[in-house]
Structure 1
Protein backbone atom coordinates (compact mmCIF):
# COMPACT_ATOMS: atom_id res chain seq x y z
CA UNK A 1 0.00 0.00 0.00
CA UNK A 2 1.29 3.43 -0.94
CA UNK A 3 1.60 5.89 1.93
CA UNK A 4 -0.62 8.93 1.44
CA UNK A 5 1.76 11.51 2.93
CA UNK A 6 -0.41 14.49 2.02
CA UNK A 7 -3.47 12.84 3.51
CA UNK A 8 -1.62 11.99 6.72
CA UNK A 9 -0.30 15.56 6.92
CA UNK A 10 -3.86 16.89 6.62
CA UNK A 11 -5.12 14.37 9.20
CA UNK A 12 -2.50 15.36 11.80
CA UNK A 13 -3.10 19.07 11.22
CA UNK A 14 -6.87 18.72 11.78
CA UNK A 15 -6.46 16.45 14.81
CA UNK A 16 -4.00 18.83 16.48
CA UNK A 17 -5.98 22.01 15.74
CA UNK A 18 -9.50 20.69 16.20
CA UNK A 19 -10.98 22.22 13.07
CA UNK A 20 -10.77 22.03 9.30
CA UNK A 21 -10.52 25.80 9.01
CA UNK A 22 -7.51 26.11 11.33
CA UNK A 23 -5.78 23.17 9.65
CA UNK A 24 -6.41 24.58 6.17
CA UNK A 25 -4.92 27.91 7.25
CA UNK A 26 -1.88 26.18 8.74
CA UNK A 27 -1.25 24.18 5.54
CA UNK A 28 -2.06 27.14 3.29
CA UNK A 29 -4.85 25.16 1.61
CA UNK A 30 -8.48 25.84 0.89
CA UNK A 31 -10.95 23.93 3.07
CA UNK A 32 -12.17 22.19 -0.07
CA UNK A 33 -8.65 20.91 -0.88
CA UNK A 34 -8.17 19.83 2.73
CA UNK A 35 -11.50 17.98 2.77
CA UNK A 36 -10.53 16.23 -0.47
CA UNK A 37 -7.27 14.98 1.07
CA UNK A 38 -9.06 13.61 4.13
CA UNK A 39 -11.77 11.97 2.05
CA UNK A 40 -9.15 10.30 -0.11
CA UNK A 41 -7.28 9.00 2.97
CA UNK A 42 -10.51 7.69 4.55
CA UNK A 43 -11.45 5.92 1.33
CA UNK A 44 -8.02 4.28 1.19
CA UNK A 45 -8.33 3.10 4.81
CA UNK A 46 -12.02 2.15 4.44
CA UNK A 47 -13.09 3.96 7.59
CA UNK A 48 -13.88 7.51 8.76
CA UNK A 49 -11.26 9.25 10.87
CA UNK A 50 -13.32 12.18 12.18
CA UNK A 51 -16.77 12.74 13.67
CA UNK A 52 -17.97 16.04 12.27
CA UNK A 53 -20.62 18.31 13.78
CA UNK A 54 -21.41 21.94 13.17
CA UNK A 55 -19.48 22.89 16.30
CA UNK A 56 -16.52 20.54 16.56
CA UNK A 57 -14.43 17.81 15.02
CA UNK A 58 -13.42 14.76 17.03
CA UNK A 59 -11.52 11.59 16.28
CA UNK A 60 -13.14 8.26 15.66
CA UNK A 61 -11.66 5.12 17.21
CA UNK A 62 -9.68 4.57 14.01
CA UNK A 63 -8.49 8.17 14.09
CA UNK A 64 -7.38 7.83 17.70
CA UNK A 65 -5.36 4.73 16.78
CA UNK A 66 -3.81 6.39 13.74
CA UNK A 67 -2.79 9.72 15.28
CA UNK A 68 0.27 8.65 17.34
CA UNK A 69 1.50 6.49 14.48
CA UNK A 70 1.11 9.31 11.97
CA UNK A 71 2.96 11.69 14.29
CA UNK A 72 5.80 9.16 14.58
CA UNK A 73 6.01 8.88 10.79
CA UNK A 74 6.58 12.62 10.46
CA UNK A 75 9.00 12.69 13.39
CA UNK A 76 11.05 9.90 11.80
CA UNK A 77 10.93 11.62 8.41
CA UNK A 78 12.06 14.89 9.95
CA UNK A 79 14.94 13.16 11.72
CA UNK A 80 16.00 11.44 8.50
CA UNK A 81 15.99 14.73 6.60
CA UNK A 82 18.00 16.38 9.36
CA UNK A 83 20.58 13.59 9.21
CA UNK A 84 20.92 13.95 5.46
CA UNK A 85 21.26 17.72 5.80
CA UNK A 86 23.96 17.33 8.45
CA UNK A 87 25.81 14.74 6.37
CA UNK A 88 25.80 17.06 3.39
CA UNK A 89 27.04 19.97 5.46
CA UNK A 90 29.81 17.84 6.95
CA UNK A 91 30.60 16.42 3.52
CA UNK A 92 31.29 19.90 2.21
CA UNK A 93 33.98 20.22 4.87
CA UNK A 94 36.00 17.20 3.71
CA UNK A 95 36.93 15.18 0.63
CA UNK A 96 38.12 11.57 0.91
CA UNK A 97 40.30 10.09 -1.82
CA UNK A 98 42.01 6.73 -2.31
CA UNK A 99 45.55 6.85 -3.64
CA UNK A 100 48.45 4.49 -4.30
CA UNK A 101 51.20 5.12 -1.73
CA UNK A 102 53.80 6.13 -4.33
CA UNK A 103 51.40 8.60 -5.91
CA UNK A 104 50.35 9.92 -2.51
CA UNK A 105 53.93 10.71 -1.48
CA UNK A 106 54.91 12.25 -4.80
CA UNK A 107 51.80 14.25 -5.72
CA UNK A 108 49.59 14.84 -2.70
CA UNK A 109 51.66 17.46 -0.80
CA UNK A 110 51.59 19.97 -3.68
CA UNK A 111 48.04 19.01 -4.69
CA UNK A 112 46.65 19.49 -1.19
CA UNK A 113 48.50 22.79 -0.85
CA UNK A 114 46.92 24.07 -4.08
CA UNK A 115 43.52 22.70 -3.05
CA UNK A 116 43.76 24.41 0.35
CA UNK A 117 44.32 27.77 -1.33
CA UNK A 118 41.14 27.31 -3.35
CA UNK A 119 39.07 25.75 -0.56
CA UNK A 120 40.54 26.90 2.76
CA UNK A 121 37.69 25.42 4.81
CA UNK A 122 37.72 21.94 3.25
CA UNK A 123 39.85 19.10 4.62
CA UNK A 124 41.28 16.19 2.62
CA UNK A 125 41.45 12.61 3.86
CA UNK A 126 43.92 10.45 1.91
CA UNK A 127 43.58 6.65 2.04
CA UNK A 128 46.98 5.48 0.74
CA UNK A 129 46.20 1.85 -0.05
CA UNK A 130 46.78 -0.88 -2.60
CA UNK A 131 44.92 -0.94 -5.91
CA UNK A 132 42.44 -3.60 -4.74
CA UNK A 133 41.76 -1.74 -1.50
CA UNK A 134 41.17 1.50 -3.38
CA UNK A 135 38.59 -0.15 -5.63
CA UNK A 136 36.74 -1.46 -2.59
CA UNK A 137 36.72 1.93 -0.89
CA UNK A 138 35.39 3.64 -4.02
CA UNK A 139 32.69 1.01 -4.42
CA UNK A 140 31.55 1.39 -0.80
CA UNK A 141 31.53 5.18 -0.99
CA UNK A 142 34.21 5.55 1.69
CA UNK A 143 36.18 7.62 -0.81
CA UNK A 144 34.75 9.69 -3.65
CA UNK A 145 37.39 8.65 -6.17
CA UNK A 146 40.69 6.81 -6.31
CA UNK A 147 44.03 7.08 -8.11
CA UNK A 148 45.09 3.57 -8.99
CA UNK A 149 46.51 1.17 -11.57
CA UNK A 150 44.22 0.84 -14.55
CA UNK A 151 43.48 -2.86 -14.96
CA UNK A 152 40.38 -4.92 -15.68
CA UNK A 153 37.39 -2.72 -14.93
CA UNK A 154 34.56 -3.71 -12.61
CA UNK A 155 31.01 -3.32 -13.84
CA UNK A 156 30.10 -0.80 -11.13
CA UNK A 157 33.24 1.35 -11.43
CA UNK A 158 34.54 3.67 -14.11
CA UNK A 159 38.26 3.91 -14.85
CA UNK A 160 39.78 6.80 -16.80
CA UNK A 161 43.48 6.50 -17.73
CA UNK A 162 45.59 9.58 -17.01
CA UNK A 163 49.27 8.73 -17.57
CA UNK A 164 51.69 5.87 -18.20
CA UNK A 165 54.40 5.48 -15.58
CA UNK A 166 57.55 3.49 -16.52
CA UNK A 167 59.24 0.96 -14.30
CA UNK A 168 62.91 1.71 -13.65
CA UNK A 169 65.88 -0.09 -12.14
CA UNK A 170 66.77 1.38 -8.76
CA UNK A 171 70.44 1.07 -7.83
CA UNK A 172 72.76 2.32 -5.14
CA UNK A 173 75.03 4.85 -6.83
CA UNK A 174 78.13 2.79 -5.93
CA UNK A 175 76.93 -0.39 -7.68
CA UNK A 176 78.10 -1.19 -11.26
CA UNK A 177 74.78 -0.77 -13.09
CA UNK A 178 74.23 2.69 -11.61
CA UNK A 179 76.46 4.25 -14.25
CA UNK A 180 74.38 3.06 -17.23
CA UNK A 181 72.31 5.57 -19.22
CA UNK A 182 69.76 2.81 -19.77
CA UNK A 183 69.61 -0.97 -19.55
CA UNK A 184 67.91 -3.85 -21.30
CA UNK A 185 66.38 -6.65 -19.28
CA UNK A 186 68.94 -9.02 -20.76
CA UNK A 187 71.71 -6.98 -19.11
CA UNK A 188 70.16 -7.75 -15.71
CA UNK A 189 70.82 -11.48 -15.98
CA UNK A 190 72.97 -12.73 -13.12
CA UNK A 191 72.45 -9.58 -11.06
CA UNK A 192 70.81 -9.89 -7.60
CA UNK A 193 67.28 -8.49 -7.84
CA UNK A 194 64.63 -7.66 -5.26
CA UNK A 195 61.21 -8.92 -6.28
CA UNK A 196 57.83 -7.51 -5.24
CA UNK A 197 55.20 -9.95 -3.99
CA UNK A 198 53.01 -11.68 -6.58
CA UNK A 199 49.96 -10.30 -4.76
CA UNK A 200 50.65 -6.77 -6.00
CA UNK A 201 49.56 -5.20 -9.27
CA UNK A 202 53.15 -4.07 -9.96
CA UNK A 203 54.47 -7.64 -9.94
CA UNK A 204 51.68 -8.80 -12.25
CA UNK A 205 52.50 -6.09 -14.79
CA UNK A 206 56.20 -6.99 -14.83
CA UNK A 207 55.55 -10.73 -15.11
CA UNK A 208 53.08 -10.23 -17.96
CA UNK A 209 55.50 -7.98 -19.86
CA UNK A 210 58.52 -10.27 -19.50
CA UNK A 211 56.77 -13.59 -20.03
CA UNK A 212 59.06 -16.62 -19.77
CA UNK A 213 62.20 -14.48 -19.74
CA UNK A 214 61.47 -13.43 -16.15
CA UNK A 215 62.66 -16.89 -15.05
CA UNK A 216 66.15 -16.18 -16.43
CA UNK A 217 66.62 -13.35 -13.93
CA UNK A 218 68.03 -13.83 -10.44
CA UNK A 219 65.24 -12.85 -8.04
CA UNK A 220 67.22 -13.29 -4.86
CA UNK A 221 64.93 -11.40 -2.49
CA UNK A 222 61.18 -10.87 -2.26
CA UNK A 223 59.26 -8.26 -0.28
CA UNK A 224 55.65 -7.12 0.02
CA UNK A 225 56.04 -3.39 -0.63
CA UNK A 226 57.85 -1.12 -3.03
CA UNK A 227 59.17 1.00 -0.17
CA UNK A 228 60.82 -2.06 1.38
CA UNK A 229 62.41 -3.00 -1.93
CA UNK A 230 63.96 0.45 -2.31
CA UNK A 231 65.23 0.32 1.26
CA UNK A 232 67.01 -2.99 0.52
CA UNK A 233 68.65 -1.44 -2.52
CA UNK A 234 70.02 1.33 -0.32
CA UNK A 235 71.89 -1.31 1.70
CA UNK A 236 73.75 -2.34 -1.46
CA UNK A 237 72.60 -5.97 -1.58
CA UNK A 238 70.95 -5.76 -5.00
CA UNK A 239 68.74 -3.90 -7.45
CA UNK A 240 64.97 -3.45 -7.65
CA UNK A 241 62.53 -2.75 -10.47
CA UNK A 242 59.92 -0.30 -9.27
CA UNK A 243 57.57 2.40 -10.65
CA UNK A 244 59.35 5.68 -11.35
CA UNK A 245 57.50 7.53 -8.58
CA UNK A 246 58.65 5.02 -5.95
CA UNK A 247 61.85 6.92 -5.27
CA UNK A 248 59.77 9.76 -3.89
CA UNK A 249 58.25 7.41 -1.31
CA UNK A 250 61.60 7.16 0.48
CA UNK A 251 64.67 9.29 1.03
CA UNK A 252 66.34 8.87 -2.36
CA UNK A 253 69.80 10.03 -1.34
CA UNK A 254 72.47 7.67 -2.65
CA UNK A 255 70.12 6.02 -5.16
CA UNK A 256 69.72 6.38 -8.92
CA UNK A 257 66.94 5.33 -11.30
CA UNK A 258 68.04 3.75 -14.59
CA UNK A 259 65.53 3.51 -17.48
CA UNK A 260 64.74 -0.03 -18.71
CA UNK A 261 64.07 -1.06 -22.31
CA UNK A 262 63.53 -4.12 -24.49
CA UNK A 263 60.82 -4.20 -23.31
CA UNK A 264 59.80 -0.93 -21.72
CA UNK A 265 57.37 -1.83 -18.94
CA UNK A 266 54.81 0.70 -17.76
CA UNK A 267 51.78 0.88 -15.56
CA UNK A 268 48.81 3.06 -16.46
CA UNK A 269 47.60 5.28 -13.65
CA UNK A 270 44.05 6.55 -13.74
CA UNK A 271 41.03 7.75 -11.83
CA UNK A 272 38.39 5.32 -10.59
CA UNK A 273 34.89 6.50 -9.66
CA UNK A 274 31.48 4.95 -9.11
CA UNK A 275 29.32 4.80 -12.21
CA UNK A 276 26.18 6.98 -12.13
CA UNK A 277 27.36 8.74 -8.93
CA UNK A 278 28.49 12.30 -9.77
CA UNK A 279 31.33 13.87 -7.84
CA UNK A 280 30.69 16.93 -5.71
CA UNK A 281 32.25 20.16 -7.05
CA UNK A 282 35.01 20.17 -4.41
CA UNK A 283 35.89 16.56 -5.24
CA UNK A 284 35.98 17.37 -8.97
CA UNK A 285 38.38 20.21 -8.25
CA UNK A 286 40.67 17.95 -6.22
CA UNK A 287 40.55 15.34 -8.98
CA UNK A 288 41.51 17.94 -11.59
CA UNK A 289 44.49 19.12 -9.54
CA UNK A 290 45.64 15.55 -8.95
CA UNK A 291 45.33 14.59 -12.62
CA UNK A 292 47.42 17.61 -13.64
CA UNK A 293 50.05 16.75 -11.03
CA UNK A 294 50.27 13.16 -12.30
CA UNK A 295 50.83 14.32 -15.86
CA UNK A 296 53.61 16.67 -14.75
CA UNK A 297 55.25 13.98 -12.62
CA UNK A 298 55.80 11.31 -15.24
CA UNK A 299 58.68 12.63 -17.33
CA UNK A 300 61.89 10.93 -18.47
CA UNK A 301 64.40 11.34 -15.69
CA UNK A 302 67.61 10.06 -14.18
CA UNK A 303 68.37 10.83 -10.52
CA UNK A 304 71.97 11.85 -9.96
Structure 2
Protein backbone atom coordinates (compact mmCIF):
# COMPACT_ATOMS: atom_id res chain seq x y z
CA UNK A 1 0.00 0.00 0.00
CA UNK A 2 1.36 3.40 -1.00
CA UNK A 3 1.81 5.69 2.02
CA UNK A 4 2.04 9.43 2.53
CA UNK A 5 5.77 9.35 3.32
CA UNK A 6 6.52 7.79 -0.06
CA UNK A 7 4.44 10.44 -1.83
CA UNK A 8 6.19 13.27 0.04
CA UNK A 9 9.60 11.83 -0.86
CA UNK A 10 8.47 11.60 -4.48
CA UNK A 11 7.28 15.22 -4.38
CA UNK A 12 10.57 16.47 -2.93
CA UNK A 13 12.67 14.69 -5.55
CA UNK A 14 10.43 15.99 -8.36
CA UNK A 15 10.61 19.58 -7.13
CA UNK A 16 14.33 19.61 -6.25
CA UNK A 17 15.66 17.21 -8.88
CA UNK A 18 18.10 15.76 -6.40
CA UNK A 19 17.92 13.03 -3.75
CA UNK A 20 20.29 14.69 -1.31
CA UNK A 21 18.45 18.02 -1.38
CA UNK A 22 15.15 16.16 -1.03
CA UNK A 23 16.56 14.47 2.07
CA UNK A 24 17.59 17.84 3.50
CA UNK A 25 14.09 19.25 3.01
CA UNK A 26 12.50 16.22 4.64
CA UNK A 27 15.13 16.11 7.41
CA UNK A 28 16.01 12.51 6.72
CA UNK A 29 18.87 10.63 5.13
CA UNK A 30 19.48 10.30 1.40
CA UNK A 31 19.29 6.55 1.86
CA UNK A 32 15.86 6.94 3.45
CA UNK A 33 14.58 8.89 0.44
CA UNK A 34 16.10 6.35 -1.96
CA UNK A 35 14.45 3.46 -0.12
CA UNK A 36 11.06 5.24 -0.16
CA UNK A 37 11.27 5.85 -3.92
CA UNK A 38 12.45 2.28 -4.52
CA UNK A 39 9.50 0.89 -2.53
CA UNK A 40 7.10 3.20 -4.41
CA UNK A 41 8.44 2.02 -7.75
CA UNK A 42 8.12 -1.60 -6.64
CA UNK A 43 4.49 -1.05 -5.69
CA UNK A 44 3.75 0.62 -9.05
CA UNK A 45 5.75 -1.92 -11.01
CA UNK A 46 7.72 0.67 -12.98
CA UNK A 47 10.55 3.17 -12.67
CA UNK A 48 9.54 6.75 -11.87
CA UNK A 49 12.96 8.40 -12.29
CA UNK A 50 15.90 8.06 -14.61
CA UNK A 51 19.00 8.55 -12.49
CA UNK A 52 22.42 9.55 -13.67
CA UNK A 53 25.40 10.97 -11.83
CA UNK A 54 24.37 14.46 -12.95
CA UNK A 55 20.60 14.55 -12.90
CA UNK A 56 17.32 12.91 -11.85
CA UNK A 57 14.49 13.09 -14.39
CA UNK A 58 10.96 11.77 -14.43
CA UNK A 59 10.21 8.87 -16.71
CA UNK A 60 7.00 8.89 -18.73
CA UNK A 61 5.37 6.84 -15.96
CA UNK A 62 6.76 9.30 -13.40
CA UNK A 63 5.25 12.23 -15.29
CA UNK A 64 1.85 10.54 -15.36
CA UNK A 65 2.09 9.66 -11.67
CA UNK A 66 3.16 13.19 -10.73
CA UNK A 67 0.29 14.76 -12.69
CA UNK A 68 -2.20 12.61 -10.82
CA UNK A 69 -0.83 12.50 -7.29
CA UNK A 70 0.86 15.83 -6.56
CA UNK A 71 -2.30 18.02 -6.82
CA UNK A 72 -3.97 15.62 -4.39
CA UNK A 73 -1.03 15.92 -2.01
CA UNK A 74 -1.38 19.70 -2.11
CA UNK A 75 -5.06 19.32 -1.18
CA UNK A 76 -4.10 17.06 1.73
CA UNK A 77 -1.54 19.58 2.95
CA UNK A 78 -4.10 22.41 2.74
CA UNK A 79 -6.60 20.28 4.66
CA UNK A 80 -3.99 19.51 7.34
CA UNK A 81 -3.18 23.21 7.68
CA UNK A 82 -6.87 24.10 7.94
CA UNK A 83 -7.36 21.58 10.74
CA UNK A 84 -4.29 22.92 12.52
CA UNK A 85 -5.71 26.43 12.20
CA UNK A 86 -8.87 25.25 13.96
CA UNK A 87 -7.03 23.42 16.73
CA UNK A 88 -4.69 26.37 17.34
CA UNK A 89 -7.59 28.90 17.24
CA UNK A 90 -6.29 30.70 14.16
CA UNK A 91 -9.77 30.29 12.72
CA UNK A 92 -13.18 29.06 13.85
CA UNK A 93 -16.84 30.00 14.17
CA UNK A 94 -19.03 29.65 17.26
CA UNK A 95 -22.79 30.18 16.91
CA UNK A 96 -24.55 31.14 20.14
CA UNK A 97 -28.27 31.35 20.90
CA UNK A 98 -29.57 33.30 23.89
CA UNK A 99 -32.81 34.88 25.16
CA UNK A 100 -33.15 38.55 24.13
CA UNK A 101 -32.01 40.05 27.45
CA UNK A 102 -28.86 37.94 27.67
CA UNK A 103 -28.27 38.47 23.98
CA UNK A 104 -28.39 42.24 24.46
CA UNK A 105 -26.27 42.43 27.61
CA UNK A 106 -23.93 39.50 28.11
CA UNK A 107 -23.02 38.64 24.53
CA UNK A 108 -21.58 42.07 23.60
CA UNK A 109 -19.16 41.62 26.49
CA UNK A 110 -18.31 38.17 25.18
CA UNK A 111 -17.59 39.60 21.73
CA UNK A 112 -15.11 42.04 23.26
CA UNK A 113 -13.40 39.33 25.30
CA UNK A 114 -13.07 36.94 22.37
CA UNK A 115 -11.76 39.73 20.12
CA UNK A 116 -9.08 40.46 22.72
CA UNK A 117 -8.00 36.89 23.45
CA UNK A 118 -8.73 35.09 20.17
CA UNK A 119 -8.97 37.74 17.44
CA UNK A 120 -9.18 35.17 14.63
CA UNK A 121 -12.34 33.54 16.00
CA UNK A 122 -15.78 34.59 14.82
CA UNK A 123 -18.99 34.60 16.84
CA UNK A 124 -22.47 34.50 15.38
CA UNK A 125 -25.15 35.47 17.88
CA UNK A 126 -28.90 35.13 17.66
CA UNK A 127 -31.44 36.23 20.25
CA UNK A 128 -34.36 33.80 20.22
CA UNK A 129 -37.00 32.47 22.56
CA UNK A 130 -35.86 29.85 25.06
CA UNK A 131 -38.18 27.26 23.49
CA UNK A 132 -36.20 27.46 20.24
CA UNK A 133 -32.72 27.21 21.73
CA UNK A 134 -32.69 23.55 22.77
CA UNK A 135 -33.80 22.00 19.44
CA UNK A 136 -31.46 24.24 17.47
CA UNK A 137 -28.47 23.36 19.64
CA UNK A 138 -29.39 19.68 19.46
CA UNK A 139 -29.64 19.84 15.65
CA UNK A 140 -26.31 21.61 15.27
CA UNK A 141 -27.61 25.02 14.18
CA UNK A 142 -25.86 26.52 17.22
CA UNK A 143 -22.83 25.29 19.12
CA UNK A 144 -23.86 26.95 22.41
CA UNK A 145 -27.14 27.96 24.03
CA UNK A 146 -27.64 29.88 27.25
CA UNK A 147 -30.75 30.29 29.37
CA UNK A 148 -32.98 28.33 31.75
CA UNK A 149 -33.97 24.92 30.45
CA UNK A 150 -35.89 21.86 31.58
CA UNK A 151 -33.66 19.28 33.23
CA UNK A 152 -35.10 16.38 31.21
CA UNK A 153 -34.09 17.60 27.73
CA UNK A 154 -32.60 14.72 25.73
CA UNK A 155 -29.36 14.96 23.79
CA UNK A 156 -28.17 18.03 25.69
CA UNK A 157 -25.21 18.55 27.99
CA UNK A 158 -25.64 21.39 30.44
CA UNK A 159 -23.12 23.35 32.46
CA UNK A 160 -24.57 25.15 35.46
CA UNK A 161 -23.60 28.82 35.54
CA UNK A 162 -25.62 30.39 38.33
CA UNK A 163 -28.85 30.10 40.29
CA UNK A 164 -31.60 32.39 39.09
CA UNK A 165 -34.32 33.57 41.49
CA UNK A 166 -37.44 35.64 41.08
CA UNK A 167 -36.91 39.08 42.57
CA UNK A 168 -38.81 42.33 42.90
CA UNK A 169 -37.12 45.23 41.09
CA UNK A 170 -37.82 48.63 42.62
CA UNK A 171 -36.85 52.30 42.53
CA UNK A 172 -33.93 53.23 44.77
CA UNK A 173 -36.19 55.16 47.19
CA UNK A 174 -38.81 52.41 47.49
CA UNK A 175 -39.52 51.19 51.07
CA UNK A 176 -38.57 47.63 50.05
CA UNK A 177 -34.95 48.77 49.67
CA UNK A 178 -34.47 48.68 53.46
CA UNK A 179 -35.35 44.97 53.51
CA UNK A 180 -33.04 42.05 52.78
CA UNK A 181 -35.90 40.00 51.33
CA UNK A 182 -39.51 40.69 50.36
CA UNK A 183 -42.34 38.22 50.89
CA UNK A 184 -44.80 37.74 48.04
CA UNK A 185 -47.61 38.86 50.36
CA UNK A 186 -46.02 42.32 50.54
CA UNK A 187 -46.88 42.80 46.85
CA UNK A 188 -50.63 42.87 47.52
CA UNK A 189 -50.82 46.69 47.49
CA UNK A 190 -48.12 47.30 44.87
CA UNK A 191 -48.53 48.24 41.23
CA UNK A 192 -46.99 45.07 39.82
CA UNK A 193 -45.39 45.00 36.38
CA UNK A 194 -45.18 41.51 34.87
CA UNK A 195 -44.14 39.89 31.65
CA UNK A 196 -46.87 38.60 29.35
CA UNK A 197 -48.18 35.04 29.41
CA UNK A 198 -45.83 34.02 26.58
CA UNK A 199 -42.93 34.18 29.06
CA UNK A 200 -42.01 31.38 31.46
CA UNK A 201 -41.31 34.12 34.02
CA UNK A 202 -45.00 35.00 33.99
CA UNK A 203 -45.94 31.40 34.84
CA UNK A 204 -43.52 31.42 37.78
CA UNK A 205 -44.90 34.79 38.89
CA UNK A 206 -48.41 33.33 38.92
CA UNK A 207 -47.14 30.41 41.01
CA UNK A 208 -45.61 32.84 43.51
CA UNK A 209 -48.83 34.82 43.90
CA UNK A 210 -50.98 31.70 44.09
CA UNK A 211 -48.75 30.09 46.73
CA UNK A 212 -48.93 33.30 48.78
CA UNK A 213 -52.73 33.27 48.50
CA UNK A 214 -52.85 36.49 46.44
CA UNK A 215 -54.66 37.22 43.21
CA UNK A 216 -52.37 38.42 40.42
CA UNK A 217 -53.76 41.60 38.90
CA UNK A 218 -50.91 43.14 36.90
CA UNK A 219 -50.78 46.89 36.71
CA UNK A 220 -48.86 46.58 33.43
CA UNK A 221 -47.85 43.66 31.22
CA UNK A 222 -44.88 43.85 28.85
CA UNK A 223 -43.02 41.48 26.54
CA UNK A 224 -39.42 42.42 27.32
CA UNK A 225 -37.41 42.70 30.55
CA UNK A 226 -35.80 45.91 29.27
CA UNK A 227 -39.26 47.50 29.03
CA UNK A 228 -40.19 46.38 32.55
CA UNK A 229 -37.01 47.90 33.96
CA UNK A 230 -37.63 51.19 32.18
CA UNK A 231 -41.11 51.32 33.69
CA UNK A 232 -39.73 50.65 37.17
CA UNK A 233 -37.18 53.42 36.72
CA UNK A 234 -39.95 55.82 35.66
CA UNK A 235 -41.94 55.08 38.84
CA UNK A 236 -44.71 53.11 37.13
CA UNK A 237 -44.52 50.24 39.62
CA UNK A 238 -42.44 47.29 40.80
CA UNK A 239 -41.48 44.41 38.51
CA UNK A 240 -41.17 40.71 39.20
CA UNK A 241 -38.18 39.55 37.17
CA UNK A 242 -35.38 36.96 37.29
CA UNK A 243 -31.99 37.60 38.86
CA UNK A 244 -30.30 37.81 35.47
CA UNK A 245 -32.19 41.06 34.83
CA UNK A 246 -29.29 42.56 36.83
CA UNK A 247 -27.28 42.27 33.62
CA UNK A 248 -29.44 45.01 32.10
CA UNK A 249 -29.29 47.52 34.98
CA UNK A 250 -26.10 49.23 33.77
CA UNK A 251 -26.09 51.95 36.43
CA UNK A 252 -29.84 52.56 36.44
CA UNK A 253 -31.48 53.82 39.61
CA UNK A 254 -33.02 50.43 40.35
CA UNK A 255 -32.56 48.01 43.23
CA UNK A 256 -33.77 44.44 43.63
CA UNK A 257 -34.66 42.17 46.53
CA UNK A 258 -35.22 38.39 46.53
CA UNK A 259 -38.84 37.26 46.84
CA UNK A 260 -39.56 34.74 49.61
CA UNK A 261 -42.37 32.52 50.85
CA UNK A 262 -41.98 30.93 48.37
CA UNK A 263 -38.46 31.39 47.01
CA UNK A 264 -38.70 30.44 43.35
CA UNK A 265 -35.38 29.46 41.81
CA UNK A 266 -34.11 27.88 38.61
CA UNK A 267 -30.75 27.29 36.96
CA UNK A 268 -29.12 29.36 34.23
CA UNK A 269 -27.08 26.96 32.12
CA UNK A 270 -24.85 26.80 29.09
CA UNK A 271 -25.91 23.93 26.85
CA UNK A 272 -24.21 22.02 24.04
CA UNK A 273 -25.27 19.01 21.95
CA UNK A 274 -24.32 15.73 23.63
CA UNK A 275 -23.76 13.80 20.41
CA UNK A 276 -21.56 16.42 18.75
CA UNK A 277 -17.85 16.90 19.37
CA UNK A 278 -17.08 20.41 20.55
CA UNK A 279 -14.82 22.35 18.21
CA UNK A 280 -11.65 23.90 19.64
CA UNK A 281 -13.26 27.32 19.20
CA UNK A 282 -16.36 26.28 21.17
CA UNK A 283 -14.16 24.79 23.89
CA UNK A 284 -12.31 28.12 24.15
CA UNK A 285 -15.40 30.35 24.11
CA UNK A 286 -17.57 28.44 26.61
CA UNK A 287 -15.53 29.24 29.78
CA UNK A 288 -15.33 32.90 28.74
CA UNK A 289 -19.11 33.02 28.47
CA UNK A 290 -19.47 31.38 31.88
CA UNK A 291 -17.06 33.89 33.46
CA UNK A 292 -18.86 36.91 31.99
CA UNK A 293 -22.28 35.66 33.07
CA UNK A 294 -21.11 35.20 36.64
CA UNK A 295 -19.51 38.65 36.65
CA UNK A 296 -22.62 40.41 35.38
CA UNK A 297 -25.25 38.56 37.40
CA UNK A 298 -24.99 38.23 41.20
CA UNK A 299 -25.76 34.81 42.62
CA UNK A 300 -28.46 35.40 45.22
CA UNK A 301 -29.87 32.37 46.97
| TM-score bin, normalised by smaller chain | 0.5 to 0.7
Separation in structure 1 between the aligned mates of residue 15 and residue 81 of structure 2, nearest angstrom: 23
Unmatched 5+ stretches in structure 2: none
Residues 184-203 of structure 1 mapped to structure 2, 5 A cutoff: 184=184, 188=188, 193-196=193-196, 198=198, 200=199, 202-203=201-202
2:15 is paired with a residue whose SS is helix
Q: Structure 2 vs 1, CA of residues 176 and 11 (structure 1 numbering), >3 Å: closer, same or farther?
A: closer
Q: Identify the residue that residue 16 of structure 1 maps to in structure 2.
A: 15
Q: Structure 1 residue 294: deviation in Å?
A: 6.1
Secondary structure of residue in 1 paired with 2:259: strand
1:64 positional shift: 1.4
Question: The residue matched to 2:78 in structure 1 has which SS?
Answer: helix
3-state SS of 2:240 partner: strand
Residue 150 of structure 2 aligns to a residue in which SS?
coil
Which range moves more in the overlay, 219-228 or 203-212?
A: 203-212
| Cα shift at 1:11 | 1.9
Q: Which residue of 2 aligns with 1:183?
A: 183
Deviation of 1:293 (Å): 2.9
Shift in Å at residue 138 of structure 1? 10
Q: Distance in 2 between matches of 1:110 and 1:53?
A: 64
Post-superposition Cα deviations, 1:53-110, rounded to whole Å, max 9, x if no partner, equal 6666543443212213333233333434444555636469x99987666568887899
State how far apart, in whole Å, the 2-side matches of 1:187 and 1:151 are: 28
Native 8 Å contact 2:164 2:268 kept in 1: yes
Distance 1:266 1:69, change over 3 A: same
Q: Paired residue for 2:73?
A: 74
Root-mean-square deviation (CA, aligned residues, Å) is 5.3
Comparing 237-246 and 272-281, the one that deviates more: 272-281
Aligned residue in 2 for 1:48: 46
Inter-partner Cα distance in structure 2 for 1:191 and 1:61: 91
Q: TM-score, normalised by structure 1?
A: 0.63
Q: Distance between the aligned counterparts of 2:247 and 2:5, measured in 1? A: 61
Deviations 1:161-215 (A, max 9, x none): 24322112335579998998623269549965422452x5544655677789999
Structure 1 distance, partners of 2:26, 2:280, is: 37
* Structure 2 residue matching 1:218: 3-state secondary structure: coil
Which residue number corresponds to residue 269 of structure 2?
Answer: 270
Work out the number of aligned pairs and report it: 290
2:195, 2:225 within 8 Å by CA — same for their partners in 1? no
Structure 1 range deviating more: 123-132 or 63-72: 123-132
- 1:225 and 2:224 are equivalent in the alignment: yes
The Cα of 1:38 is off from its aligned counterpart by 3.0
2:69 aligned counterpart, secondary structure: helix
**3-state SS of paired residue (1:152):** coil
Q: Is the 8 A contact 1:165 1:266 kept in 2?
A: yes
Deviations 1:13-48 (A, max 9, x none): 33334455554454344455334433443455x442
Q: Is the 8 A contact 1:163 1:294 kept in 2?
A: no
